Structure 1
Amino acid sequence: MDLILDILSTMLSQLQKPTLAFLIGGMVLAALGSKLEVPQPVYSFVVLLLLLKIGIGAGISVREADLVALAVPAIGAAIAGILIVLLGSVTLAKWRGVSNMDGMATVGLFGAVSASTLAASMAVLDGEGIAYEGFIGALYPFMDIAALVTAIVLARMSAVRQTAGSVQASGTMTLGGGAKSAGGGAWDGAMVKGILIDTFRSPAISALILGIMLGLFARPDAVYASFYEPLFRGLLSILMLVMGMEAWSRLSEMRKVAHAYVLYGLTAPIVHGLIGFGIGLAAHHLTGFSAGGAVLLSVMAASSSDISGPPTMRAALPEANPSAYVGTSTGLGTPVAILSIPLFMALADRFIGF
Structure 2
Amino acid sequence: MSLASTALLSPPVLCFGLGALASALRSNLRIPAPVFDAVSIYLLLAIGLKGGAELAESRWSDFAAPAIAGLALGIVIPLWCFIALRRLAGFGTADAASLAAHYGSVSAVTFIAVINYLERAGTSHEGFMTAVLALMEAPAIVVAFLLARMAGGPGGSSHSGLGAALREVVSAKSFLLLMGGLVIGGIIGKAGLAPVRPFFGDLFLGFLCLFLLELGIVAAQKADEAWQAGPRLLAFAIAAPIVNGSLGLLAGHMAGLSEGGAVVLATLAASASYIAAPAAVRLALPEANAAYSLAASLAITFPFNVVIGIPLYAALAQGLYG
TM-score bracket for the superposition, by shorter chain length: over 0.9
Q: Distance in 1 between matches of 2:316 and 2:90?
A: 36
1:349 correspondence with 2:321:
no
Taking structure 1 as the reference length, the TM-score comes to 0.85
Give the equivalent residue in structure 2 for 1:334.
302
Q: Which amino acid aligns with 1:261?
A: L
Q: Distance in 1 between matches of 2:204 and 2:109?
A: 11
Give the equivalent residue in structure 2 for 1:215.
185
C-alpha displacement at 1:79, in angstroms? Answer: 0.9
Q: Distance in 1 between matches of 2:262 and 2:121?
A: 15
Question: Residues 129-144 of structure 1: matches in 2 within 5 Å?
Answer: 129-144=122-137
2:110 paired residue among 89, 93, 117: 117
Aligned to 1:35, the other structure's residue is in SS state coil
- Of 302-311 and 190-199, more deviation after overlay is shown by 190-199
- Identity among equivalent positions (%) equals 31
Tell me if structure 2 keeps the 8 A contact 1:110–1:305: yes
Give the equivalent residue in structure 2 for 1:10.
3
Q: Which amino acid aligns with 1:68?
A: S
Q: Distance in 2 between matches of 1:57 and 1:9?
A: 28
Flag structure 1 segments of 5+ consecutive residues without an equivalent.
1-7, 164-181
C-alpha displacement at 1:109, in angstroms? Answer: 0.7
Q: Distance in 2 between matches of 1:50 and 1:321?
A: 29
Tell me if structure 2 keeps the 8 A contact 1:53–1:224: no
Q: Distance in 2 between matches of 1:337 and 1:159?
A: 33
2:251 paired residue among 263, 266, 279: 279
Aligned to 2:136, the other structure's residue is in SS state helix
C-alpha displacement at 1:128, in angstroms? Answer: 1.7
C-alpha displacement at 1:247, in angstroms? Answer: 1.3
Tell me if structure 2 keeps the 8 A contact 1:84–1:111: yes
Question: Residues 303-322 of structure 1: matches in 2 within 5 Å?
Answer: 303-322=271-290
Give the equivalent residue in structure 2 for 1:323.
291
Tell me if structure 1 keeps the 8 A contact 2:164–2:283: no
Question: Residues 199-278 of structure 1: matches in 2 within 5 Å?
Answer: 199-219=169-189, 220-278=192-250
Tell me if structure 2 keeps the 8 A contact 1:138–1:212: yes
2:40 paired residue among 43, 47, 58: 47
C-alpha displacement at 1:76, in angstroms? Answer: 0.4
Q: Distance in 2 between matches of 1:259 and 1:346?
A: 28
1:91 paired residue among 84, 93, 114: 84
Q: Which amino acid aligns with 1:318?
A: P
Question: Residues 41-190 of structure 1: matches in 2 within 5 Å?
Answer: 41-95=34-88, 97-159=90-152, 187-188=158-159
Taking structure 2 as the reference length, the TM-score comes to 0.93
Q: Distance in 2 between matches of 1:258 and 1:83?
A: 26
Q: Which amino acid aligns with 1:195?
A: A
C-alpha displacement at 1:304, in angstroms? Answer: 0.6
1:291 correspondence with 2:263:
no
Q: CA deviation digits over 1:209-237, x for unaligned, max 9? A: 11011112245413441321112101111
Tell me if structure 2 keeps the 8 A contact 1:97–1:258: no
Between structure 1 and structure 2, the one with the greater Rg is 1
Tell me if structure 2 keeps the 8 A contact 1:78–1:146: yes
Q: Which amino acid aligns with 1:236?
A: L
Q: Distance in 1 between matches of 2:164 and 2:25?
A: 43
Q: Distance in 2 between matches of 1:224 and 1:283?
A: 33
Tell me if structure 2 keeps the 8 A contact 1:256–1:323: no
Q: CA deviation digits over 1:45-95, x for unaligned, max 9? A: 111111111111111111111111111111101111211101111111334
C-alpha displacement at 1:135, in angstroms? Answer: 0.8
Q: CA deviation digits over 1:229-271, x for unaligned, max 9? A: 1121011111121222211111101244243111111211111
Quick one: structure 1 residues 131 and 41, their matched pair in 2 at CA, closer, same or farther if it must change by over 3 Å?
A: same
Q: CA deviation digits over 1:98-139, x for unaligned, max 9? A: 221012111211111111110011011111221111111111
Flag structure 2 segments of 5+ consecutive residues without an equivalent.
none
C-alpha displacement at 1:275, in angstroms? Answer: 0.8
Q: Distance in 1 between matches of 2:134 and 2:166?
A: 11
